[in-house]
Structure 1
Amino acid sequence: MSLSIGVHILQKLSASQELIFAVGEKIFPIVATHETTFPFIIYKRGSLTPGYTKDRYSTGDNTTAELIVASDKYADSVKIIELVRSALENKGGEYNSFSVVDAKVISADEDFIEDTFIQRITFSFETETE
């Protein structure tokens, strides 16, 4: 089900050669491992809203996910978040128990915390159950 949206996110990010060149394998669910070097990406599922018919059958879900790029260089953080956007926006995918049929950006912001440039982007994923 779309509770596994992280499978889609990791698959799409890992398929981008430019993104892998920029961050290597430093793409983590929820939290980065201890002593990870810059730059890196974190992704986490946010909300999930089921789509039910009048007969109470689930047709799919709308799931949000937040992706965060952390870097010690501002320009790199912006470049990488743009690559993240390109890798995910309007991209679908077929998986064992669900399909991603649409992916849209719903918000983005940036911050500077403890000598780290932070870029955040939030996506809304529309899924269908298999």
Structure 2
Amino acid sequence: MGRPSKFSQALAEKICARIADRESLRSICRDEDTPAKSTVLSWLVDEDKAAFRARYALAREIMADSFVDEMVEIADGGPGRIPQLPDRHARCRLRPRIYRQRLLDRDQAPRHHPRNHRLQRQ
């Protein structure tokens, strides 16, 4: 049958829900029942689809918040635990994981990190 290319509210809701669940747009658009990434990106710049653009932005915010939550859990040693880092080596092992989460957060929520984001709308 082919990939859907026509905008529908149901499809837009599905895409935004999956993004809010921390799935990348690239991954979502690999599925046969979703449109190509270029199609979704064209919907985002379409002036007639401002509601979708707002919902997509909200989904991205939710995604970024969940990355921050995960970063805090990593730093704390897990959900609800006080950090138990007995030595310098244990702390060093956590640094790459925390750094990765910080990068993901910066990339997913550029408005929270405007100096680090290359393209800003005027």
TM-score higher than 0.5: no
Q: Name which structure has the greater RCO, CA cutoff 8 Å, separation 6+.
A: 1
Judging by fraction of residues, say which structure has more strand.
1
Q: Provide TM-score, normalisation by structure 2.
A: 0.29
Judging by fraction of residues, say which structure has more helix.
2
For the pair shown, which has the larger CA radius of gyration, 1 or 2?
Answer: 2
